[in-house]
Amino acid sequence: MELEIGLYDWSALPCRSCPSAAHVPAELLRMARAQNREEARPKAIEYHVLQESWATPTVVPVARVLMAGLADRSISAAARNQFLDLLWSFVIVDDEDLAAQCLDAVRGGIWALYEEILSGDSQGSALLAYWLVKDAETTPARVERLLATARHLLPEDLCEED
């Protein structure tokens, strides 16, 4: 994550609530160290780079950092779930260009999402990862095979059309 964070001039990126997004890297690292759901809440992400479905261009580097974080299996289940939830929020923002760029960031680390699903650690995280894979995967047969292999790791009420 730190490697990815270091690629951006965060003070030049916009924030909805502050003069810049300079505070965002510390928030992402704080979230990555979280051990429970409350600690993992994105306090300086929501209403800063994302408000409901309105986003600033800062969501794109944040998405890349979150994907880098998912590659680290030592991050807690609570933090992983929050990362996935944010990523899902980013790929459905109202700005189609920003959503597409975030989806490209997801594609860049898609195997971390497969690992999240197949790990069996959390059905909630597996579901979020599945939705991201379903939208990001460019080979439909791979998604079909994933569902055939990992159906028992996903919530029972998952509709295959979801």
- The arithmetic mean of pLDDT across residues 4-22, rounded, is 97
Question: pTM of the prediction?
Answer: 0.94
Is pLDDT at 161 greater than 70 in this prediction? no
- The arithmetic mean of pLDDT across residues 76-82, rounded, is 97
Is pLDDT at 157 greater than 50 in this prediction? yes
- What span, in angstroms and rounded, lies between the C-alpha atoms of 30 and 21? 15
Mean pLDDT of the chain, nearest integer: 95
Pairing of strands 54-55, 50-51: antiparallel
Contacts of 100 (CB under 8 A, 6+ apart): none
